[in-house]
Amino acid sequence: MLVERYNPLEEKILTILDKDGKVINDELVPEIENEELLHMYKTMLLTRVADTKALQYQRQGRMLTYAPNKGQEAAQVGSASAIENRDWLVPAFREMGAWLYKGVSLEQIYLYWYGSEEGSRFPENIKMLPVSVPIASQLNHAVGIAMASNIKEEDEVTLAYVGDGGTSQGEFHEAMNFAAVFNAPLVVVVQNNQYAISVPRLEQTKTKTLAEKAIAYGIPGIQVDGNDILAVYGAVKEAVDRARRGEGPTLIEAVTYRLGPHTTSDDPTIYREDKEVEEWKEKDPLIRFKTYLIDKGLWSEEEDSKQIEEFEKLANDTFKRVENSDEIPLEDIFKYHYEEMTENLIEQYEDYKAYLAEGGR
């Protein structure tokens, strides 16, 4: 098993594709159909294009504060592609690739960052929680879902995400401890992008890796090259299969890098050197995976350019619809706190309607 072969205490990191897209561990290449490989790459490419466009829209004053994903696409798509439709996905706030792969439309994603509640209302067939901005709080929700799956005897696994900074939060400890004690079918992927806003990874925890934190909870942990989509997929797939067999949770650290700012309110030039960013650009997950697909004869530079043009048009057309969308009904502010509005919320809603009717704003 990978978790046994790549012991984080020995500082071993799972890598299948090197930065040039060449296979360095043939025996570890996961069995993935060619059609699925292309779907994974196209989802990564759409994530990159949609992310770049979102940053532009925000800078133009057309979108609210936005959290860029550039550089982390393999960690997101590689993990999301390892679960099934029946499984749950619990995001933080920087997982556009996972959302798209899970089936959330680009329009819904743009609506969320545009400030519309419609962006958090997913179709019934998509088992995914909305964005969670309070750091690591989503992990307790993820454990609750996983424990409920056990109690209800449903064959489901929950995949949750957190950043490297989130592992220093109390919620992380509580969630991992509960998941371990109750043998919850949970897989937690730590997107270690090296910075918790401006705080470097090495300054917020003493452990050499984040994956080794799993040892304290008595569960498996593994560190993977987060810019290598095949390594991410392989590690997560093994963890998902393990959870589905009733063998409990796994902690996976995906070592990656945030090429852009933490959010559009952040200036990363204050706390990191351009040289560091340039070094990580050479490990770009898209270039790595594209090279692999081209070498396999599944893709070409010509197809790549054409696909980028199509995705750019899709992004522009989608955002135009978002900008022209209707205002959210007043009732929605109160309606979606619970399955049904409580008496207190109904009272607040009626009071506010009366206030507006009297000319208030």
Would you name the residues annotated as active-site residues? 258, 262, 271
Residue 326 — left, alpha, or beta (φ > 0 → left; ψ -120 to 50 → alpha)? beta
CA distances from 91 to 74, 80, 97, 130, 196 (A): 15, 11, 11, 7, 16
Neighbours of 297 (CB within 10 A): 8
CA 83 vs. chain centroid, Å, equals 13
In 193-244, DSSP assigns E strands to: 195-196, 199-200, 221-225
Calpha distance 266→132 (Å, rounded): 19
Angle separating helix axes 73-80 and 285-295, nearest 10 degrees: 60
Calpha distance 123→100 (Å, rounded): 13
